[in-house]
Structure 1
């Protein structure tokens, strides 16, 4: 039992709060007022910073639900645009809503022509995430009235338009980032193609040649987007909520999420998996590599394994594994050495007591990089398309945050610096 800071015997009464599922939480809002102390939780790993009805994760059981629907069912039966609607509106779209939403996405997929000029300010070898972050923030100057600059002025209609525009424009922006870096002509979205098909069309087609959709690759890409659409209060999502709580324009708000996603410990993990596989080289190199991983002083990490939340298998990992086999079979690469190496590495880790005892299982990043590389997408673009997918979750979380009116985010700090002291009398005085 907590007592007040003056050591009086008066108890502290903190209420508990129940969610629909999952553990109860302690309502800490009255802690300082009653006890004169704050809670300390570095990284907020044990703190619920908001109430949310969007995504539920049970890391102990390996469960991921979006608005109550299991990710496995959504990946099998829904499209990415269905999931984007679900995240923002709480229910899967009916036939009429689906048609109107997809038509709206197509109508808003084009970028303002002046955005082309933004790219000329970047070096061709700039990191794609730098270009994405910069140009996305720049869109706020073109759509400053949608989402407004003060939270109380943002109407429901403006929130809907901002959501539609961000989800619609991200694939075009991502494709232009790629094509600018390669010196290729910029390609516009094409009516009649699905969201995933247009992503691939704007990436790989050329003006002088017809481009045909490969339905296997398009469906695979669509499911990859679904698997990355939202994942609760991770660092980029909590960044979007934190920045959004200031009332900032949503394009700038989502650009902040892109910046957070850029880090190799977050969105860049699938690129790190490919680097690891290249380092191992062949199946024969696995034993030596695993010995280095077990030797904690060596500093070698098994990338694509383990998750801060999941203590069992990441439910997205098995789905991504299946997509990987489908894509490589379609491309005639089902005997690809990198896949064989990845499978053997997975088998080794899952049967090794060192990794079993630490509950290190494959996560969603382990196979996604192999798939994207096989489809012809360079590793520097992996995080960019992670951002395209995650935008659906970010805008849903942004809308929910605004509608709940939580006030501006303001975490506390446990101060460990010097106590009060005076500047020496002689400091700054000229002799």
Structure 2
């Protein structure tokens, strides 16, 4: 719905500028400021886009004040409890949960696309032996655009579907190959009799010399983590995919841009930072001293894994991951001292007025790194795991954008703060 309900006044002319209110199903309205420059000669200014809607979307809803996260209207906690990752992937792509037949068809389509072209493997040989796996993901996913040229007709729903299935199917294979390259092990082919997460674990940890059996507890834990990471509205990496995709670029290149954005420690790399922080603290007896340093702005010490740009309450994903973390460590009989550290940090943060006043609650990154570590996944693979899960959201947002009417290229403006116009002086006279 859209109706005029807000206005600005141009102080120079006294002219009133109407701002149509763009309403959605849930949440606050968005004010259409597209005509503000034409009417006032001024830009709107919002660094970091903290109050700016870049699009309309039917995929994910977040209420940061109440700690709500919905995929296509379904609470994420219910999906994590009752659904598999591929069910959630289908939901995010298509808008509805699949029935048994639809799920089987979707599952088979994903399995058919898990292999990567043999020529693609040579790209990994070009990376240095200690290249970060995210560097490999960024480059290799971008190179897929050199293998699939038939994506030019993005307005064809079938073309978009093929791209989505290919990308979701191949990203675990590519991530596992990046792991193998980093550790100097031979690549393992996908085993299409395995489910999505079991297949990824097999490609990562199996070797040709001996049989490898995937632990179902590990596969289930990974499945839950992937559900929680599948989408999160217009975050930095999703917005990057949309911005790159708005130019009409090959969609694999757009996903590569999203992977690059996810790599940052303020985004997908945050769970790496949590484990590094716990290593730095070292022992539970050091927790209070560390937290005192966090409260001292002069110390430069940051508390990783707490607080969120959107959530001003508990991150609903963190509550689920906390429970899953305890389940996994208990089931795998792992006595991880980092969990004791994490729980002490949480206890202090939830009871200290300093952290409560700033609403610094545990976020999704706080416990996810501990689970990944328990599953034997090294720290440098945490963000690639995030990328595998978030690929579902990226392709869904890309598909929604290019299929929703005329594609308008993203082109923000700026407030210029450089030198005023001046004349060039010849070099001999400077």
Return the alpha-carbon distance in structure 1 between the equivalents of residues 407 and 111 of structure 2. Answer: 33
Are positions 1:51 and 2:56 aligned together? yes
Q: Secondary structure at the match of 1:28?
A: coil
SS in 1 for 2:69: strand
Distance, in Å, in 1 between the alignment partners of 2:58 and 2:145 is 28
Q: Does 1:383 align with 2:383?
A: yes
Residue number in structure 2 paired with 1:4: 10
Q: Deviations over 1:98-152 (max 9, x none)?
A: 111111111100000011111111111001111111111111100121x22xxx6
Q: Which runs of structure 2 are paired with 1:295-306 in the superposition (5 Å)?
A: 295-306=296-307
User: Quick check: 1:2–1:35 contact (8 Å CA) kept in 2?
Assistant: no
Which residue does the alignment assign to 2:328? 327
Quote the Cα distance in structure 2 between the aligned partners of 1:225 and 1:239.
20
**For residues 190 and 305 of structure 1, what CA distance do their matches in structure 2 show?**
38
The TM-score with structure 2 as length reference comes to 0.96
| Distance change >3 Å, CA 27–CA 430, structure 1 → 2 | closer
Change (3 A) 1:403 1:153: closer
Deviation at 1:154, TM superposition (A): 4.0
Report the more deviating stretch, 183-192 or 167-176.
183-192
Give the 3-state SS of the residue equivalent to 1:14 in structure 2.
strand
Give the Cα–Cα distance (whole angstroms) in 1 for the partners of residues 378 and 8 of structure 2. Answer: 54
Quick check: 1:4–1:36 contact (8 Å CA) kept in 2? no
- Mapped pair 1:30 → 2:35: yes
Deviations 1:290-312 (A, max 9, x none): 11001011110110000010000
Helix, strand or coil at the partner of 1:13: strand
Q: 2:134 aligns with which of 122, 129, 132?
A: 129
Task: Name the residue aligned to 1:139.
Answer: 144
Q: State TM-score, norm by structure 1.
A: 0.96
Describe how 1:217-296 pairs up with structure 2 within 5 A. 217-296=218-297
Deviation at 1:53, TM superposition (A): 0.4
> C-alpha distance in 2, partners of 1:287/1:23?
39
Taking the aligned partners of 2:54 and 2:338, their CA distance within structure 1 comes to: 41
Q: Which residue, out of 105, 109, 120, partners 1:104?
A: 109
Aligned mate of 1:78, from 73, 78, 83:
83
TM-fit CA distance, 1:429: 5.2
The CA RMSD measured in Å over matched residues stands at 1.3
Question: Residue 153 of structure 1: CA displacement?
Answer: 5.3
Cα distance in structure 2, aligned partners of 1:193 and 1:153: 31
Distance in 1, Cα, partners of 2:321 & 2:124 = 33
Secondary structure in 1 matching 2:413:
coil
Please state whether the residue corresponding to 1:106 is helix, strand or coil.
Answer: helix
What SS is found at the alignment partner of 2:35?
Answer: helix
How far apart, in 2, do the equivalents of 1:318 and 1:122 lie? 38
- Pairwise CA distance, 1:83: 1.0
Q: Which residue of 2 aligns with 1:171?
A: 172
Residue segments in structure 2 that go unaligned for 5+ positions in a row:
1-6
Alpha-carbon distance between aligned partners in 2 of 1:393 and 1:57, rounded to the nearest angstrom: 14
**Alignment partners' CA distance in 2, 1:124 and 1:136:** 19
- Residue 348 of structure 1 corresponds to 348
- For the residue of structure 2 that corresponds to 1:136, the secondary structure is helix
Post-superposition offset of 1:191: 2.0
Q: In structure 2, do the counterparts of structure 1 residues 153 and 237 end up closer, same or farther at CA, with 3 Å as the change threshold? A: closer
Distance, in Å, in 1 between the alignment partners of 2:284 and 2:216 is 32
SS class of match (2:8): coil
| Deviation for aligned residue 1:250 | 0.9
Within 5 Å, give how 1:173-212 maps onto structure 2.
Answer: 173-212=174-213
Inter-partner Cα distance in structure 2 for 1:250 and 1:8:
46
Distance 1:86 1:338 in 2: 35
Q: Deviations over 1:152-186 (max 9, x none)?
A: 65421110000000000000000000011111111
Report the Cα distance in structure 1 between the residues aligned to 2:43 and 2:93, rounded to whole angstroms.
Answer: 34
- Unpaired segments ≥5 residues, structure 1: none
Separation (CA, whole Å) in 2 of partners of 1:46 and 1:342: 32
Give the whole-Å Cα distance in 2 for the aligned partners of 1:392 and 1:355: 34
